[in-house]
């Protein structure tokens, strides 16, 4: 019996593994080919985060503050959202350059494990471990959500845990046991709190469903069961506070806290076009940011689901209970108000309907109930369900085809709805074949093998319809370029001093990516102190500060190194600029840069940013840091300005005269560099590889004082005769100030990889020590062992007051909320243990009395 049970779960794991392996093999993906998935968020975010996690796991040096995270930030929110899956421990078996391979292997294993947990749920609910369950485990492992979002690998753990949560709820009601439910909810939240939150809502829906199914309110112990469920739910949630509390504290510093009332209006999130999602190819990779709910479940499941409600073999009361479960989950996607609540009260920024996997689970579960009830024995029911399934998909495609034409007839621009008629016909053929196989199953159960093959084919085809439209990266190139660039950056790091930053303005790694790669997370990838970051956890104050100083930020999740000047390089301690040109690496050194801590004038406490005036902000900031009124950024004088129309754009021609020797900068907000062309003295200025579509400072070159400069700007942005557009950084007065700051820099003695900053500095006159590290209440500062106050300056930097004399400075970082989270978690776990022990003791005494 035990051997059969083990083989049952091995079969569920093996079938899913075989299917996903074939899919990856056909598409040439690693580990079977040379392609990798260096696209979407997996390529731009997760690979870098996984590489950092691997680095910490291998080295054993675990730290929760990264100076490679933009200017430096709390790493815990990234860990809690992206990296807490136990599957990530497999990273230690891969080299850093092979992390994309590890990611694919982890995806494969997670999809395979989904089959195991779903098989476990079916065994517990139906009390059967028949091979016929594999029909439904495959459908679940390759449902629409998995096909659409498999590369968001941190979400896949929720699909593994969902069937276990369902079994946990079952045991609470049917067996009065709640330990499994407690741990399933706790681990779901820990593995990924975002989708774990959705599983908590699902548990409530499923509890009500099972309560109705088991006539809970007619049982004498109903209040005990409800009490156990509620207390266990609350304690499981509180036990996860070690993750939730510090994560919440960190996310409060992002733009995620913004409120938009429109997201709560009770409007429809989709229309009849969503029926296309029921068929193969209803969604593609190119539509990943905007599409209907990914509810593909294969034709067999769809027919059985419909048969459940059509068949007389199923009692009406059971149909009503199932309709309640499906209806509430459908409403959670259809009505915008509920959809927003399910997504943690935030409208998703792309990748919509992230709760669709729960709806698919419910549909597959009810289809399995239909199968258990023997609906396949009713020929008329199967025919009716088959025709209905085909009709629903036909309605979906007809809507996709008709609506654009209707809108065009009304005089509006025709929307570009993307659909493929090939998949429409393939879906209909699969529905007909599936219906016929279900009909044959009643005559001979060996046709179940063909049904399983059909379900596998549809899961394969739908998954491939998404993967086939994706752009894939090159693993050999990635591995080679990563190793080469990592060696270069290691040498550069050893040549610099702790407390300096490095910018990689052109990376050889880009050759491995199928689409434009903007290198936002390269500092994390290579463990260097940088400037840029792309993450939903980006500190909003840091982003706003850098943007107001001229750095490019596309949105609240991105900030780039582009837009820096010699002044901001000195402010942030940028020591090297590394770029690859013609297969060779070029390293530009800025020896004058001070470290991340240097003495400044007390006027720094009075500085305030002005939005959309980057060069003015830089000039005033440098004045306050030096305590003077010197003009460091001087307006170029405009000798002449003319303009002419060029097609649909305007060419502005400025004849300038510089007022100082040094680099000439251009800044206007907003300004789209990507769609514009800039010429200086007839030579076009190369725009960055990043598509700068908003404001950023542009370096126009170095010029002598009183030099004539002709600037031509071809753009759609309206420009004026405004000298402040063009400013020269006066090297004569600027360079001595940099020398002064460098001479008065803190000598960093720590490696910045242990959540600490240590250094020494000798102060001649009492002054503030400016630290180019974002302000965070997790930092504590100590001067010669005595705790001192940290001030927030320059919008988001730190400063501490130092008196005359020698100072040994130490800053220690502790994740805000982590200690409180541990206290709540440990207390809740102990409370649950006591509650469980007391309940068990009480039940034991009752049984002895009887």
Per residue in 209-230, pLDDT tens?
A: 999 999 999 998 999 999 999 9
Distance CA 168, CA 204 (A): 12
Distance CA 378, CA 311 (A): 7
Distance CA 707, CA 680 (A): 13
Q: What percent of the chain has pLDDT over 90?
A: 80
User: Does residue 411 have a pLDDT over 60?
Assistant: no
Per residue in 54-87, pLDDT tens?
A: 999 999 999 999 999 999 999 999 999 999 999 9
Distances from the Cα of 139 to the Cα of 280, 292, 357, 371, 435, angstroms? 13, 19, 11, 14, 16
pTM above 0.85, yes or no: yes
Please give the average per-residue pLDDT across 16-32, as a whole number: 97
User: Does residue 406 have a pLDDT over 80?
Assistant: no
User: Does residue 633 have a pLDDT over 90?
Assistant: yes
Neighbours of 483 (CB within 10 A): 13
Asked which of 344-348, 708-712, 742-746 is least confident by mean pLDDT, the reply is 344-348
Q: What percent of the chain has pLDDT over 70?
A: 97
Neighbours of 112 (CB within 10 A): 21
User: Does residue 263 have a pLDDT over 80?
Assistant: no
What DSSP string describes 750-811? Answer: S-S-SSEEEEEEEESS-EEEEEEEE--TTEEEEETTEEE--EEETTTEEEEEE-SEEEEEEE
Burial 171-208 (b: 16+ CB within 10 A, else e): bbbeeeebebbbbbbbbbbbbbbbbbbbbbbbbebbbb
Distance CA 336, CA 345 (A): 11
Distance CA 412, CA 156 (A): 40
User: Does residue 765 have a pLDDT over 60?
Assistant: yes
Per residue in 162-202, pLDDT tens?
A: 999 999 999 999 999 999 999 999 999 999 999 999 999 99
Q: Please list the helix, strand and coil fractions of the chain in percent, rounded to the nearest 5, in that order.
A: 55, 15, 30
Residue 473 phi, psi dihedral angles, 5° rounding: -95, 175
Per the DSSP assignment, residues forming a β-bridge with 759 are 748, 809
Please give the average per-residue pLDDT across 523-550, as a whole number: 95
Q: What local confidence, expressed as pLDDT, does residue 850 receive? A: 53
Please give the average per-residue pLDDT across 670-691, as a whole number: 87
Q: What local confidence, expressed as pLDDT, does residue 753 receive? A: 84
Please give the average per-residue pLDDT across 387-393, as a whole number: 96
Please give the average per-residue pLDDT across 101-111, as a whole number: 98
Close Cβ partners of 334 (under 8 Å, ≥ 6 residues apart): 268, 269, 270
Specify the 3-state DSSP secondary structure of 705.
coil
Q: Which domains does the chain have, with CATH numbers?
A: 258-443 (no CATH), 633-729 (2.60.40)
Structure tokens at 562: 């582009």
Distance CA 50, CA 100 (A): 9
Per residue in 538-593, pLDDT tens?
A: 999 999 999 999 999 988 999 999 999 999 999 999 988 888 887 788 888 876 78
Distance CA 221, CA 244 (A): 33
Residue 282 phi, psi dihedral angles, 5° rounding: -70, -15
Distances from the Cα of 445 to the Cα of 438, 450, 456, 605, angstroms? 10, 10, 18, 80
Per residue in 744-763, pLDDT tens?
A: 999 999 988 889 999 999 99
The mean pLDDT of the chain is: 93
Distance CA 256, CA 246 (A): 15
Per residue in 640-666, pLDDT tens?
A: 999 999 988 999 999 999 999 999 999
Q: What local confidence, expressed as pLDDT, does residue 96 receive? A: 97
Q: Which residue has the tokens 């996709």?
A: 400
Whose CA is closest to 626, among 547, 734, 761?
734
CA 340 and chain centroid, separation: 18
Q: What local confidence, expressed as pLDDT, does residue 257 receive? A: 63
């Amino acid at each position: 019996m035990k051997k059969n049970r083990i083989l049952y779960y091995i079969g569920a794991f093996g079938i899913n593994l075989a299917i996903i392996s074939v899919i990856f093999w056909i598409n040439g993906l690693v580990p079977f080919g040379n392609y990798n998935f260096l696209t979407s968020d997996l390529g731009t975010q997760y690979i870098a985060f996984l590489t950092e996690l691997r680095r910490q796991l291998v080295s054993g040096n675990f730290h929760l503050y990264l100076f490679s995270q933009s200017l430096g930030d709390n790493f815990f929110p990234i860990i809690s959202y992206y990296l807490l899956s136990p599957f990530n421990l497999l990273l230690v078996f891969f080299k850093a350059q092979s992390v994309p391979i590890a990611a694919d292997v982890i995806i494969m294993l997670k999809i395979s494990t989904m089959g195991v947990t779903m098989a476990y749920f079916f065994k517990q609910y139906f009390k059967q471990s028949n091979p016929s369950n594999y029909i439904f485990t495959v459908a679940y492992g390759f449902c629409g959500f998995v096909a659409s979002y498999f590369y968001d690998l941190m979400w896949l753990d929720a699909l593994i845990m969902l069937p276990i949560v369902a079994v946990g709820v079952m045991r609470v009601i049917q067996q009065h046991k709640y330990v499994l439910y407690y741990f399933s909810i706790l681990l779901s939240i820990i593995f990924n709190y975002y989708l774990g939150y959705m599983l908590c809502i699902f548990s409530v829906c499923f509890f009500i469903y099972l309560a109705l199914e088991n006539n809970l309110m007619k049982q004498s112990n109903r209040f005990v069961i409800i009490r156990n469920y509620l207390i266990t739910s609350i304690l499981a949630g509180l036990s996860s506070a070690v993750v939730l509390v510090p994560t919440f504290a960190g996310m409060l510093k992002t733009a995620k806290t913004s409120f938009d009332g429109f997201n709560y209006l009770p409007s429809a999130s989709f229309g009849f076009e969503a029926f296309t999602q029921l068929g193969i190819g209803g969604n593609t990779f190119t539509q990943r940011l905007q599409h209907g709910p990914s509810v593909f479940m294969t034709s067999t499941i769809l027919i059985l689901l419909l048969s459940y409600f059509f068949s007389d073999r199923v009692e009406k009361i059971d149909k009503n209970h199932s309709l309640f479960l499906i209806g509430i989950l459908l409403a959670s996607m259809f009505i915008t108000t509920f959809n927003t609540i399910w997504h943690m009260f935030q409208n998703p920024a792309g990748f919509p309907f992230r709760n669709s996997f729960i709806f698919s689970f419910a549909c597959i579960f009810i289809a399995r109930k239909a199968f258990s009830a023997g609906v396949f024995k009713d020929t008329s029911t199967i025919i009716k369900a088959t025709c209905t399934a085909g009709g629903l998909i036909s309605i979906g495609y007809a809507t996709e085809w008709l609506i654009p034409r209707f809108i065009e007839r009304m005089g509006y621009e025709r929307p570009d709805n993307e659909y493929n008629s090939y998949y429409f016909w393939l879906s209909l053929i699969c529905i007909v074949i599936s219906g016929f196989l279900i009909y044959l199953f009643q005559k001979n159960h060996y046709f179940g093998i063909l049904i399983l093959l059909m379900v596998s084919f549809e899961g394969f085809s739908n998954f491939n319809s998404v993967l086939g439209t994706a752009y894939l990266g090159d693993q050999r190139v990635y591995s080679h370029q990563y190793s080469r660039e990592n060696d270069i950056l290691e040498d550069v790091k050893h040549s610099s001093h702790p407390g300096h930053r490095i910018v990689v303005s052109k990376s050889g790694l880009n050759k491995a990516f199928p689409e434009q790669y903007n290198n936002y997370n390269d500092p994390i990838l290579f463990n260097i102190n940088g400037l840029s970051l792309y993450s939903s956890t980006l500190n909003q104050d840091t982003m706003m500060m850098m943007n107001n100083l001229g750095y490019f930020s596309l949105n609240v999740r991105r900030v780039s190194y582009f837009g820096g000047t010699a002044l901001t390089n000195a402010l942030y301690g940028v020591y090297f600029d590394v770029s690859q040109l013609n297969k060779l690496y070029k390293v530009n050194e800025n020896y004058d840069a001070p470290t991340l801590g240097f003495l400044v004038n007390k006027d720094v406490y009075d500085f305030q940013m002005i939005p959309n005036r980057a060069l003015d902000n830089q000039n005033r900031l440098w004045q306050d840091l030096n305590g003077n009124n010197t003009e460091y950024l001087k307006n170029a004088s405009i000798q002449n300005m003319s303009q002419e129309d060029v097609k649909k754009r305007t060419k502005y021609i400025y004849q300038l005269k510089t007022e100082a020797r040094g680099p000439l900068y251009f800044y206007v907000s907003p300004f789209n560099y990507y769609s514009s062309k800039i010429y200086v003295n007839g030579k076009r200025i190369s725009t960055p590889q990043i598509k700068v579509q908003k404001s950023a400072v542009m370096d126009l070159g170095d010029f002598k004082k009183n030099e004539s400069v002709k600037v031509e700007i071809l753009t759609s942005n309206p420009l004026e005769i405004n000298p402040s557009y063009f400013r020269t950084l006066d090297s004569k007065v600027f360079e001595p100030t940099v020398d002064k700051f460098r001479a008065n820099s803190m000598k960093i003695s720590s490696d910045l990889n242990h959540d600490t900053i240590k250094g020494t500095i000798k102060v001649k006159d009492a002054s503030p020590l400016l630290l180019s590290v974002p302000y965070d209440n997790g930092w504590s500062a100590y001067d010669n062992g005595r705790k001192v106050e940290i001030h927030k300056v320059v919008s988001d930097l730190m400063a501490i007051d130092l008196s005359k004399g020698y100072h040994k400075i130490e800053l220690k970082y502790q994740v805000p909320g982590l200690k409180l989270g541990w206290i709540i978690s440990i207390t809740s776990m102990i409370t649950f243990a006591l509650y469980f022990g007391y309940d068990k003791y009480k039940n034991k005494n009752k049984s002895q009395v009887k």
